[in-house]
Amino acid sequence: MPEKIELPITGMNCAACAARIEKVLNKMETVQEARVNFPLKKAVILPKTGLELKDVVSLIRDIGYDVDMEADVTVRARKEETELRRDFSWAISLTVPIMVFSMWMALPWNNVILLVLTIPVQFYFGLRFHASALINLKHFTADMNTLISVGTSAAFFYSAFVTFFPHVVRAAGVSAMTYFDSSAMIISLILLGRYFESKAKTRTYTAIKLLYELSPKECVLLKDGVETRVPTDALEVGDTVLIRPGEKVPIDGVVLTGSTYVDESMITGESMPAHKKPDDEVIGGTINGKGSVTVRTTRTGSDTVLARVIRLVEEAQFTKAPVQRLADRVAGVFVPSVIIVGICAFLVWFFFGPEPRITNAILSFVSVLIIACPCALGLATPTAIMVATGVGARRGILIKSAEALELTNRARNVLFDKTGTLTEGVIVLADVIPLASSDEKEVLRIAFNLEKQSEHPFSDALRKKAQESGIPSLDVTDFEAVIGRGIKGRIGGADYRMGNRTFYEEEGHILDNRTRDLYEEKERSAASPVLLWSETGLMAILTFSDRVREESIEVVRKLREMNVEPVMITGDSENGARTISGRLGIERYFHRVLPDGKAAIVEEFRKKGVTVMVGDGINDAPSLAAADIGVAMGKGTDIAIESADVVLMKGHLSRLVSLIRLSRKTMRVIKQNLFWAFIYNVHGIPIAFGALYPFFGIRLEPVFGAVAMVISSISVVSNSLRLKFFKD
């Protein structure tokens, strides 16, 4: 019996579907725990002894869903997108002439033409709603699908009755109006919304696929001095692999021979490549620099750090609770209530109403259902979300789901990755302190020409500074790189050295008190100081660092004003973390944190309130997925962007504050929309029932119910459009 069973499920239309499947599976005696994820369309089951897979599949099929063991999740997602796009395209192509014939045409067979055009929209392209409604009925539940099915069916069947028996309706003193246009338009609009929702979800699958692609599929195996290219999956613990310059590290291992610099930013988030020498560990998926190394394999397959990162991202998708929209929460009570009221209206008019009783009873029943049609209710959230996401996009905020926009409104904590988020993520020459008789230009001239032949990350920063300062290129002889220490060479007949304090002292020199204090001060400030000296003595201290974003301090201040606590997480040292957090005004910080540690910290903060995680690297992917709202910097990695719920385009951190303000404004508009969506029902349903008839002889005909529904929809759309005038 496997530890867990994963089943890809098809046929789920909303989070309520996932909850229903999960509830049924957890009732099985042979199931320890079942979790169903709607975005991933997958169930994870922890079995007990005696569980038969065929029983699980049969149970899922019994409640109206299916299990597809063959198709890849991405293939299924694209198939669903294609089907929804196709259904909407055909439905709207029929709905447009239906609207035209309803409003402007008056042909002899007008209603018959409308009936023929509406049938495929109602019963073929709208079948998914009716099928879900029947499943809900079977299990005594209701959701938005039930509302859509009941409302459109009431409009359609009443219109069909009017088409074939108009004299019966007229006999009751009621105009023979049809509502085929209402039925077709509602189904078309909902299909369009489902299509955009499906399109957004595929990004979740893309994120995980990108993670899998990080590890190279092939590598060079060294055995008995012979190089052989083999699949990475074929490696075993203890194998020796050769990693050439620029190649990806295929597995986790330990360096045997050679030295190099490895870009580990995908794991640690730090922009500065790490020096690797014999006995140092390397991580699969990281990128080798310009040196060749041989590595002994220590972990393969699912045991590697990269595999654990992938697993964290996938598991986070299951632990992230879906946000249930306000409309969905009330639908379970609203729909059965409307149906009961409609039945009561029918019975009252049939037994106590004036003649013709059966006609009046049918008209009252239909009036109640039509005025309760969920058009405005269905538009209440999507229209506001649509306008808000458009406003966000124009301000450089890509919001990938309605849930993210809703949850951001309640954010209480914002956790920031340091490198590339609060800082620029680029090594720069931050400071030059000339010593003795040297000047800055002379220091830059020597440092640049020494470093230009080096593979060290500092060389790019020096090259950029030299270009800005117009420093000329000089010939360097006897150049030598001392890995992990520094470099040396001869310029213009003089010997020069450049490196860290260890290199300086190993050459037999001792720092004086003032220089030592300056050097240690730079180290405490989260920077990397480097010494430059010649045969005649120490020339300068050059400091390299990752600059703090200019906007970071202002963002932190505004978050505090909004009662949102900023927190910093970094893989940097405690001194570096303390310095940067102090400079930004952040009170809480975590240092020396790796990807799994970040995700764990996010989970702890989620217990205290809605938590936002902001990051830019591959190492941030698990924590972005684990957070209530994951926010990626637009200049970050593809995987961070795909794993996030929101992307700040062009890397503007200040847009985070705009996101929170936009979310709060949007939620106010959604609540107002729901009020307008229901206010007409609250007043219209009793009138449709016939509450005013005994006193004033007034009854609400279906046509007025449709008008009320349209007014309600216009109110909702107009209110949503106010978001276009949102200001930061």
Write the pLDDT tens digit of every residue in 509-529. 888 888 888 888 887 776 788
Average per-residue pLDDT for the chain: 80
Looking at the annotation, which residues are catalytic? 417
Cα–Cα nearest to 626, from 646, 642, 607, 606: 606
CA distances from 492 to 266, 478, 601, 605, 676 (A): 41, 12, 55, 59, 82
Does residue 534 have a pLDDT over 60?
yes
Q: Note if the bond before 231 is cis, omega within 30 degrees.
A: no
What does the domain layout of the chain look like in residue ranges? 5-70, 76-215+306-396+665-728, 218-303, 397-423+549-661, 425-547
Burial (CB < 10 A; 0-12, 13-18, 19+), residue 395, is middle
pLDDT on residue 16? 63
CATH number listed for the domain at residues 5-70: 3.30.70.100
Q: What is the DSSP letter of 248?
A: B
Residue in the block written with tokens 């050097």: 519
| Least confident stretch, 158-162, 275-279, 447-451, 676-680 | 676-680
DSSP-assigned letter for residue 644: -
Q: Which helix (H) or strand (E) holds 435?
A: none
How large is the C-alpha radius of gyration of the chain?
Answer: 33
Mean pLDDT value across residues 77-85: 82
pLDDT for res 338: 78
Determine what percent of the chain is predicted with pLDDT higher than 90. 15
Give domain 425-547's CATH superfamily.
Calcium-transporting ATPase, cytoplasmic domain N (3.40.1110.10)
Instruction: Report the alpha-carbon distance of residue 200 to residue 78 in Å, rounded.
Output: 11
Which 3 state secondary structure label does DSSP give 294?
A: strand
* Residue 91 pLDDT greater than 70, yes or no: yes
Please check the confidence at residue 205 and state whether its pLDDT lies above 90: no
Q: Which of 157, 153, 12 is nearest to 76 (CA)?
A: 12
From the options 2.60.40.1180, 3.40.50.1000, 2.160.10.10, 3.40.50.10480, give the CATH code of 397-423+549-661: 3.40.50.1000
Q: Residue 588 — pLDDT band, cuts 50, 70, 90?
A: very high
Q: How confident is the model at residue 462 (pLDDT cuts 50, 70, 90)?
A: confident
What is the predicted pLDDT for the residue at 316?
47
* Lowest-confidence segment of 104-108, 223-227, 344-348, 368-372 by average pLDDT: 104-108
- Does 657 have pLDDT greater than 90? yes
Mean pLDDT throughout 126-146?
78
Report d(CA 583, CA 19) in Å as an integer: 46
The overall longest dimension of the chain from CA atoms, in Å, is 117
Please tell me which residue, 501 or 203, carries the higher pLDDT value: 501
Do 397-423+549-661 and 425-547 have matching folds?
no
Higher-confidence position of 41 and 256: 256
Residue 173: both structure tokens together: 């003193």
d(Cα 392, Cα 406) in Å, to the nearest integer? Answer: 14
The CB-based long-range contact list for 557-561 (8 Å cut-off, 24+ gap) reads 557/585, 558/657, 559/414, 559/656, 559/657, 559/660, 560/585
Least confident of 74-78, 432-436, 537-541: 74-78
Whether 243 has a pLDDT exceeding 90, the answer reads yes
Residue 263 pairs in a beta bridge with 287
Distance CA 209, CA 645 (A): 17
Give the right CATH number for 218-303 from 2.70.150.10, 1.10.357.10, 3.40.50.10860, 3.60.70.12.
2.70.150.10
CB-CB neighbours of 80 under 10 Å: 20
Q: Which long-range contacts (CB under 8 A, 24 or more apart) does 16-22 make?
A: 16/141, 16/143, 16/324, 16/328, 17/65, 17/132, 18/322, 20/63, 20/139, 20/141, 21/60, 21/63, 21/65
Q: What is the mean pLDDT of residues 389-401?
A: 78
The predicted pLDDT at position 241 comes to 94
What is the tens place of the pLDDT at every residue in 668-727? 888 888 787 777 777 778 887 887 777 777 776 655 665 666 677 677 778 888 888 887
Least confident among 82-96, 288-302, 450-464: 450-464
Over residues 243-266, the mean pLDDT reads 87
Q: What is the mean pLDDT of residues 120-141?
A: 85
Alpha carbons 52 and 3: distance in angstroms, whole number = 14
Average pLDDT over residues 263-283: 75
Instruction: Name the residue with higher pLDDT: 72 or 178.
Output: 178
Cα–Cα distance, 664 to 563 (Å, whole number): 13
Residue with tokens 């279906």: 702
State the helix-helix crossing angle for 73-103 and 180-212, rounded to 10 degrees: 160
β-strand partners of 538: 533
Instruction: Judge contact between 543 and 528, C-beta under 8 A.
Output: yes
pTM for the predicted model, two decimal places: 0.59
Q: Which of 10, 24, 16 is nearest to 59 (CA)?
A: 24
Percent of the chain with pLDDT over 70: 82
Tell which wins on pLDDT, 358 or 336.
336
Q: Which residue has the tokens 């014999």?
A: 278
CA–CA separation, 64 and 10 (whole Å): 10
Contacts of 76 (CB under 8 A, 6+ apart): 8, 10, 41, 68
Q: Is 3 exposed, middle or buried (0-12, 13-18, 19+ CB in 10 A)?
A: exposed
pLDDT at 265 over 50: yes
Q: State the average pLDDT over residues 41-52.
A: 84
